Amino acid sequence: MLDLRTITFIHPLANLLAILYLYFIYKNGRKYFKAITPFFNGYLLILLGTTLIFLREVIPFVISTTIGNGIIFIGMIFVAKSLSMIYNQKIKPNKLYVLVFIYSLFNIYFTISYDNFTVRVILFSSMFIITTLYAIRVLLKDFTEEKFNDYLMILISLSIFVITYIVRIIFALIYDPGVGFFESSNTEVVLSAISMFNGILLVISFGIMLHNILIRKLDKYHKETEEKYFFEKERAEKDQLSGLNNRSKLEELLDYTAKESLKIKKPFSILFLDIDDFKVINDTFGHAEGDRVLKEVSEVLANSIRETDIIGRWGGDEFLIILRQCDFENAHRIKEVISSNVKEKLLVLGKGAMVSIGISEYNKGITLEDLIKKADENLYIEKNKKKMR
């Protein structure tokens, strides 16, 4: 069965393993989390403190216990500081340092002047509870469910510390814990063992918390990057005035539609159109009004085609519509609908202008350049017909 002497020997070794684990986290994560440094330093202090306590029969008692215990408490304050840094909180633990100093004075008194092991157990346990509750307070400050999920394991570990040392105080008050440290009761041995293993759990929990935070930050970064990518992609593909596809995107979609047409062996058509006398609108009503007309016409065009069709602004007042799986005859019917809708809209806007539309059908053997050129030629044929009326 374990005795307190064995636990006191194992405790620094357990903390040394915790330090090695923390060093791995420190080495790989300090550039992401500055808070790792105070946690690592805190556990170095705890290792030093438990080592001094183990050497209580070799070095002076005041150094081994009073200073050793004080160093452990300062280490716990460093842990609290680390937790505050993770969540960008500012803490002022000066009062805790003062308490550690006062504890040290009382510990010396109840060791040298009035030797009472029970009082020393209560003092140590009370001080440990205070520093641990301080760390818990830091965690629960500015509580959010997201943060709670991050630090749940640390909160459980710190709570175990509090419960363990409360039980230790109760047993010290009810039962005699023993005449000296190594002659402590079995209850004291069990509680010390729980505290030792829980210290390891605290370090593991810290690693889990950092992992959870890092994963959450990476998810947020990926989401923001993805949103930024789609935003920039849309900016690169959309015409800023009309909100329609821009010329570059239209050329890409035109190429895709041509390949699709050859694969399924069905023709497609394009409509190439512009607003008649758009320069007159700009000159008469101003460019702001011209931009408004372009936006309104863009909306009418988008609402006049099928869901499978593609529309974009080619440049200036010119638009291109790709009518997928649509021959010349069906394209002509869609053209008439568009002409009527746009004419009606322009009349509502108080502009007597109309649109001219050229049609071109894609079939195997012609290039996309020829397809657009043919539609452009048909557009100007229609314009000339209007002028001759």
Q: Which pLDDT belongs to residue 97?
A: 92
Do residues 71 and 84 lie in contact, with contact meaning Cβ atoms separated by under 8 Å? no
Q: Which pLDDT belongs to residue 74?
A: 94
Which residues lie below 8 Å from residue 45, measured CB to CB, with a gap of 6+? 71, 72, 74, 75, 78
Do residues 51 and 12 lie in contact, with contact meaning Cβ atoms separated by under 8 Å? yes
> Which one-letter amino acid corresponds to residue 8?
T
Q: Which residue has the tokens 């040392």?
A: 165
- pLDDT tens by residue, 263-289: 999 999 999 999 888 888 888 888 898
Q: Which residue has the tokens 């170095």?
A: 44
3/365: higher pLDDT: 365
Class of domain 247-388: alpha beta
Q: Indicate the pLDDT class of residue 320, thresholds 50, 70 and 90.
A: very high
Rounded percentage of the chain residues whose pLDDT exceeds 90: 37
Q: Which pLDDT belongs to residue 324?
A: 94
Q: Which pLDDT belongs to residue 285?
A: 85
Query: With 70 as the cut, is the pLDDT of residue 42 above it?
Result: yes
Instruction: In the chain, count H helices and then E strands.
Output: 13, 4
Do residues 107 and 123 lie in contact, with contact meaning Cβ atoms separated by under 8 Å? yes
Domain boundaries, the chain: 4-229, 247-388
Work out the average pLDDT over 300-306.
91
Q: Which pLDDT belongs to residue 20?
A: 87
Q: Could you count the other beta carbons within 10 Å of the beta carbon of residue 193?
A: 17
Rounded percentage of the chain residues whose pLDDT exceeds 70: 94
Q: CA-CA distance, 38 to 18, in Å (whole number)?
A: 14
- Summary mean pLDDT of the chain: 86
Burial of 223 (0-12, 13-18, 19+ CB in 10 A): exposed
DSSP secondary structure, 56-105, as one string:
TTTS-HIIIIIIHHHHHHHHHHHHHHHHHHHTT----THHHHHHHHHHHH
Work out the average pLDDT over 11-26.
83
Do residues 91 and 147 lie in contact, with contact meaning Cβ atoms separated by under 8 Å? no
15/232: higher pLDDT: 15
Work out the average pLDDT over 323-329.
94
Q: Indicate the pLDDT class of residue 370, thresholds 50, 70 and 90.
A: very high
Strand partners, 358: 272
Q: CA-CA distance, 307 to 320, in Å (whole number)?
A: 15
Q: Which of 43, 130, 47 is nearest to 95 (CA)?
A: 130
Q: CA-CA distance, 215 to 128, in Å (whole number)?
A: 32
Lowest mean pLDDT among 161-175, 232-246, 253-267: 232-246
Angle at Cα 380 formed by Cα 365 and Cα 295, nearest 5°? 100
Do residues 338 and 271 lie in contact, with contact meaning Cβ atoms separated by under 8 Å? yes
Q: Which pLDDT belongs to residue 323?
A: 96
End-to-end CA, the chain: 112
Q: CA-CA distance, 231 to 208, in Å (whole number)?
A: 34
Which residues lie below 8 Å from residue 106, measured CB to CB, with a gap of 6+? 123
- pLDDT tens by residue, 65-96: 889 999 999 999 999 999 888 888 888 889 99
Do residues 242 and 298 lie in contact, with contact meaning Cβ atoms separated by under 8 Å? yes
DSSP secondary structure, 243-291, as one string:
-SB-HHHHHHHHHHHHHHHHHHT--EEEEEEEETTHHHHHHHH-HHHHH
Do residues 243 and 319 lie in contact, with contact meaning Cβ atoms separated by under 8 Å? no
Q: Which pLDDT belongs to residue 4?
A: 64
Q: Which helix (H) or strand (E) holds 359?
A: strand 355-362
DSSP secondary structure, 177-235, as one string:
--SSSTT--HHHHHHHHHHHHHHHHHHHHHHHHHHHHHHHHHHHHHHHHHHHHHHHHHH
Lowest mean pLDDT among 28-32, 68-72, 105-109, 152-156: 28-32
Backbone angles phi, psi at 366, to 5 degrees: -110, 150
- What are the Cα distances from residue 263, in Å, to 25, 225, 324? 56, 36, 13
